[in-house]
Structure 1
Amino acid sequence: MPTGDNPGEPPRPSTPNTTCKYALITPTKRAVAVILHEDCEMSFRRICERTPFKRAKIKPRALAKAYLMVKDHDGDCYANNRKNCGWKKIIPDEEVNEAVRRIDEGELIDGEDVRKAMWPDRPARTVRHVLINAGLPGHAQRQKLPLLARHIEGRETMFKKFEAWTNQRVFEDGVWLNSDETKIMLGSSDGRRWCQERHGRFNLKINVWGVIHPNGVGELIRVEGNLTAVQYVDILERGLLDLYDHYENHRHTFLYFQQDNNPKHTSRLAKAWLRDKQINVFPWPAKSPDLSPIENVWAELKRRICSHPRFPTIQTTDKLFEVTQEVWKSDSFGEYAKVVYRSFPRRLQLLKENKFMWID
């Protein structure tokens, strides 16, 4: 008969076993049962006839209860309805959600950023796995290509022709319409490094065309599918013509429309349209996104979309475009675009100082 720790103590009463029978099924057996039942479509009775289960004398009803418990706990084979049971997560869900939020808002870029900022004592591999489980697998982004001699020559030629624009007053006496297209994606980022990118809902993306000018932003036009020369001319009809006419009827020392060297922009159809409408096209050098102020406007647009109150509820591309337009047309964003627009003289000066190489 069991006795107490000290002689003379009355025997301690035995502790009743309150654990359910299905709690005695090991996590390994539960995992095997889930696979056999779901993938092999085996009944619990047939599973119990297999050696590991038969040797443990596990009944079909107990196995069925264990299976339901696993499903109720999101696949956790360690759960058994007891306090503090189940698989212990290395990083709490609250901290993972905070990391996801900071990545979505662009504050952090990749797993290494997250590890340094939030979990410096955790291995990098653990952090990557946590982000992958949260729907943020990593991928390598494209590297900025080096400038060739002809690119440097083109940048230098442009600078020499418009060197007077390094004077802020000279630049602001004229009008320079800075245009471009961009892709708006949920949870995207740019740069050369490993980054985390969402899948599923966060695969939603739209292409838009926009233009900035001395008074803010112009029309934001959605590009349907892949851009074609015909569609680009239609975009110019809708988004450029009225804006160009507006500034043409106002006093100015120069009026230029800027576009990059996308083949659709330089197609015969687009060139003919620009020539027929008597639009003065700015000679933009190839491989020069670093000189274009609208690139900063796109980056700010994407950042504000991520912090928009409706961002978590976006489920369709139409909703994404609605939010994008709402941000684009806001007064504060227009003021931001004005400030960025006026940075072009400084960019030209940096171009000269960097010997016509990248300025960023």
Structure 2
Amino acid sequence: MSTSSLKDVCTKPVSTQTVRRHLKKHGMKAIVKRKHPLLLKCHIRAQLDFALAHQDWTLEDWKRVIWSDETKINCLGSDGRKWVWKKTGEGLTSRLVEGTMKYGGGSLMLWGCFGWEGPGYAMKIEGKMDANLYVSILEDALQDSLEYWGQTPNDIVFQQDNNPKHASKKAKTWFKEHGFEFMEWPAQSPDLNPIKHLWGILKCKLASHKEPPASIDELWKRVEAEWEKISAKECRDLIESMPRRVAAVVKAKGGYTKY
């Protein structure tokens, strides 16, 4: 509820500033709401069922999981607002300006995976993702990743979300023919998925460049270079968080968690 809304329900006339002052006095502070997929009752139930089914998994169990996902990467970083501290009286300088490019500068879609051994091969998604393209990614990037790690489908449990392309008949047939075991994943559950945090690590590395990429090709070169710099330790830290993530979902009874 906003301070203006609180002011409207007060029994006596008060200013918005007075409401804010009293909220701060009682330890409250304003924050930007986190964006999170909307959880309906069916999602909450599915998350809780998943967490209960995996609450006894040990780290050794989680080490077998290969996590996969797609993400969008912009030439000019996040689509969201950016904040910066401004000194009193400071004029408009380049430090205070977020440069824009005509038509937004463009973006690319990336598929990637990671496991206990570190990041696997990443692939730029060319064109519209459909079942055929997804299977070609599995045949190339996923298979190459397993070979690089010295693993076979029998060594791992493959994780993917419930995107219709992932659950297509063609993809299911491919997994079955190649002997993959894959994890039944609850919809709308980024709190449980550590690869979401790996995307954050990658995007922070990309944001550290002083100048934006001049083209999509240059952006892709940066993505490849920064992806290769992600260490096995960074991946292992995320995987080691899985027992805590699962416990948090159980505690929240399938609802939102700090993750």
- TM-score, normalization: structure 1? 0.53
Pick from 171, 180, 187: which aligns with 2:76?
Answer: 187
Q: What letter corresponds to residue 179 of structure 1 in structure 2? A: S
Count matched residues: 211
Aligned residue in 2 for 1:324 = 223
Shift of 1:202: 4.8
SS in 1 for 2:163: coil
* Distance change >3 Å, CA 306–CA 352, structure 1 → 2: same
Shift of 1:218: 0.1
> CA separation in 1, counterparts of 2:231 and 2:217?
21
* Distance change >3 Å, CA 198–CA 358, structure 1 → 2: farther
Aligned residue in 2 for 1:215 = 117
Pick from 152, 155, 158: which aligns with 2:47?
Answer: 155
Pick from 213, 225, 243: which aligns with 1:314?
Answer: 213
Shift of 1:190: 6.5
Answer with 1 or 2: which has the greater Rg: 1
Q: What letter corresponds to residue 276 of structure 1 in structure 2? A: E
For structure 1, the residue ranges without an aligned partner over 5 or more in a row are 1-140
Q: What letter corresponds to residue 73 of structure 2 in structure 1? A: I
1:1-360 alignment to 2 at 5 Å? Answer: 143-165=35-57, 167-168=58-59, 170-171=60-61, 174-189=63-78, 198-200=100-102, 202-244=104-146, 246-248=150-152, 255-308=156-209, 312=211, 314-330=213-229, 332-360=230-258
Q: Retained in 2: the 8 A contact 1:201–1:315?
A: no
Q: Retained in 2: the 8 A contact 1:212–1:341?
A: no
Q: How big is each residue's C-alpha offset from its partner over 1:92-122, in whole Å with a ceiling of 9 and x where there is no partner? A: xxxxxxxxxxxxxxxxxxxxxxxxxxxxxxx
Shift of 1:353: 1.3
Shift of 1:346: 1.3
Q: How big is each residue's C-alpha offset from its partner over 1:241-263, in whole Å with a ceiling of 9 and x where there is no partner? A: 2444633389x6xx210000111
Q: Retained in 2: the 8 A contact 1:175–1:247?
A: no
Aligned residue in 2 for 1:43 = none
Shift of 1:289: 1.3
**Which stretches of structure 1, 4 residues or more, deviate above 6 A after TM superposition?**
193-197
* Distance change >3 Å, CA 270–CA 345, structure 1 → 2: same
Q: What letter corresponds to residue 102 of structure 2 in structure 1? A: G
> CA separation in 2, counterparts of 1:150 and 1:289?
15
> CA separation in 2, counterparts of 1:175 and 1:145?
27
> CA separation in 2, counterparts of 1:334 and 1:343?
14
Shift of 1:201: 7.6
Q: Retained in 2: the 8 A contact 1:232–1:270?
A: yes
Shift of 1:306: 1.4
Q: Retained in 1: the 8 A contact 2:74–2:105?
A: yes
Shift of 1:327: 0.6
SS in 1 for 2:151: helix
Identity over the aligned pairs, expressed in percent? 31
* Distance change >3 Å, CA 194–CA 243, structure 1 → 2: closer
Q: How big is each residue's C-alpha offset from its partner over 1:192-245, in whole Å with a ceiling of 9 and x where there is no partner? A: x78878342852211110001001100011101221111100000111124446
* Distance change >3 Å, CA 302–CA 257, structure 1 → 2: same
- TM-score, normalization: structure 2? 0.73
> CA separation in 1, counterparts of 2:99 and 2:151?
41
